[in-house]
């Protein structure tokens, strides 16, 4: 694995869970969205956001990432490359 490969390991562009890429409303430029299919990522995001949004299981925003994954087959998220420093790695990343 060369230096280039090490730089992009752990990022959406090289992840097996990335079903596709699309445009997002992000200041870093076009094609900044990823269609992520990772249940682990959805679970982590829900655990982080549920207490901030609501604790009511009947609220439509409760477990919103797992709901989106179940209904659409993927979650439309900002790409990690657009949000974090180059050294940051997604804990749910899997090699293509």
Domain positions in the chain: 3-83
Q: What's the pLDDT at 24?
A: 67
Please report, in angstroms and rounded to a whole number, the separation of the first and last CA atoms in the chain: 14
Q: What's the pLDDT at 78?
A: 87
SS3 23: coil
Give the pTM: 0.80
Q: What is the residue-level pLDDT of the chain in tens, covering all 96 positions?
A: 445 455 578 899 899 999 999 876 666 667 788 999 999 999 999 998 888 777 778 888 889 999 999 999 999 998 888 888 878 889 999 998
Q: What is the DSSP letter of 5?
A: H
């Amino acid at each position: 694995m060369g230096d280039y490969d090490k730089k992009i390991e752990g990022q959406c562009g090289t992840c097996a869970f990335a079903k596709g890429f699309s445009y997002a409303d992000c200041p870093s430029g076009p094609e900044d969205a990823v269609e992520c299919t990772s249940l682990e990522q959805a679970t982590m995001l829900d655990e982080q956001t549920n207490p901030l949004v609501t604790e009511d299981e009947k609220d439509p925003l409760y477990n919103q990432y797992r709901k989106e994954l179940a209904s659409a087959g993927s979650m439309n998220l900002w790409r990690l490359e657009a949000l974090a420093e180059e050294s940051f790695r997604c804990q749910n990343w899997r090699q293509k």
